Chain A
Amino acid sequence: MSPEVVAVLGAMADASAEAYYWWATGLMVCIHAGFMMYEMGQSRVKNVLASGVKNILAFCFIIPTFFMFGWWLYFAYGTGTIFLPDMAAEYAAYAVPWSEHMGPNLGLPGWGVLWAAFVLFSATTASIVSGSVIERIRISAWIILATLVGSVVWIIAAGWGWSPTGWLVTQWGFHDVGAAGCVHMISGFFALGILINLGPRVGRFNADGSANDLRGHSVPMTIAGLMIIIIGFFGFLGACLLYPSPLLLTDMTQPAGYLTIYGGPVNISAFAFNTLMGFGGGVIGAYVITKDPFWMMSGALAGIFCAAAGLDLWYPPTAFALGFLGGVVIPYSHKLITSWGIDDAVGAVSVHGTCGFIGVMAVGVLLGGYPGVGDIPAISFTGQLVGAIAMGLGGFIPGYVVSWILKQCGILRTSDAIQELGVDVEIPVPAYPESMQSRDYS
């Protein structure tokens, strides 16, 4: 093939790659729209707009902070050690905010859309935590914690285990194509760390430890929001694939197809089969146990996460069965966590933490022996277990430590008096001025 033809093919592939990640990024905004509806629906009327504002601000603080340092952290930890970044990492220099590539640059097409896709992954990670802490976390504290999980913690974990050169991959053969570990386990366990320090909502627990149900004001809004999140996950999972193009280092002189983040061959069809099967299994599993539409739609997410780590490799009925397992497990997991006196308002720890763990370990139990690409070790139970421990601790420890510091500074939790009145006292407009009682604006 002549160099001119290769150049033209490369340019066309790069343009297509840019379009692919642009639309995937746009779809991922649905995850935020969905989480916003979900959290507002799960809030009581007196807290509804504060929940929405919290969600919107988390997304919008992650955008500039991921530009400032998050993108650099991915490349620096992609070849670094567990704790130390690689200051000389090959692409890290492209990702520092004063690099010539961190702005419109005709010489490196696609860098910005890759950054954008990762921004949405980051914002998704923070959105996951957002629901668990509604109705009593201070918005200022939440901005700090959301930035931490979205622009620091998850992206370091992604450098470890969602990158072809991360230590979890090169040393342990860790396999997690759909980010069950670095997004869902990280966010679920980060949320757990915060919840321990944040404390429950006023009225959630009685003196004898029994729990009261603090029902949200709109179940239809909640379940519609969860369905919209599912739409967004098609963008998320699509963006987990590497589009064959010079941007992603494809040799355009050879036949090429999509790759996983680890460089293994895959196609969108594999993801299509297993995303839908995991989704369906999760809803059905949760229905069998609860008959509750909230848990059914949470089961939809749980089902996808239980299949996420091996979306490239599952036989679809296996993904369905894993999804079913996720849907069955989450209400019991939530009940257990509640019995510990932990108030997770939306079940995020169970849906993301527990099911992210199931997803990672299912690969270790059922997909052992699959060869890695190049020098990457084969998939193994031990490798997945090491990864699961790293992700669990990697999420929990910073969530716990930083929220503890904020608590000691007295800026983590809204006072009981404000909680009784409704956190929407901080919002200058009423949520439902005519049809539903919000709070007294007189």
Chain B
Amino acid sequence: MFDSSPIDTWEGAAAIFNSAGSIGEVIWFWIAVALCVITVISAIIHENKTERERG
């Protein structure tokens, strides 16, 4: 579906990961950052709820 290969041949290949050297690399990086931030927010909400209900 998404042709993300940065190489056409294995001869002399160096960075071979998907989206290497393209905007896709930046997008995936920020997706990972966002997922970490979402998790911390989720933890804060969960703990606040527990404090309200049980504290």
Contacts and interface: CB of A to CB of B under 8 A. Distances in A.
Contact of B17 (A265, A315, A320, A381): A315
A371 B8 contact: yes
A317 B25 CA distance: 8
Interface in A288-339: 288, 291, 310, 312-318, 320-321, 324
Nearest to A263: B10
Contacts of A366: 1-2, 4, 18
B28 A371 contact: no
A270 B16 CA distance: 10
Contact of B10 (A291, A315, A371): A371
Given A284-B35, A313-B18, A317-B28, A368 B10 contact: no
A182 B24 CA distance: 30
Given A288-B42, A367-B4, A368-B2, A313 B36 contact: no
B3 interface: yes
Contact of A381 (B1, B39, B46): B1
A216 B5 CA distance: 46
Nearest to B19: A315
A281 B39 CA distance: 10
Interface in B6-55: 7-10, 13, 16-20, 24-25, 28-29, 31-32, 35-36, 38-39, 42-43, 46
B1 A365 contact: yes
Contact of B1 (A281, A284, A310, A364): A364
A314 B16 CA distance: 8
Nearest to B18: A315
Contacts, number: 77
Nearest to B10: A265
A378 B13 CA distance: 16
Given A288-B42, A324-B35, A381-B1, A315 B28 contact: yes
Nearest to B17: A315
A291 B49 CA distance: 13
B5 to A, nearest CB: 4
A109 B38 CA distance: 52
A241 to B, nearest CB: 15
Contacts of B1: 364-366, 368, 381
B35 A320 contact: yes
Contacts of A318: 17-19, 28
B10 A264 contact: yes
A136 B2 CA distance: 45
Contact of A321 (B2, B20, B32): B32
11 contacts: A265-B10, A265-B13, A287-B43, A312-B16, A314-B18, A315-B17, A315-B24, A315-B28, A320-B35, A368-B2, A368-B3
Interface of B: 1-5, 7-10, 13, 16-20, 24-25, 28-29, 31-32, 35-36, 38-39, 42-43, 46
Interface of A: 264-265, 270, 281, 284-285, 287-288, 291, 310, 312-318, 320-321, 324, 364-371, 373, 378-379, 381
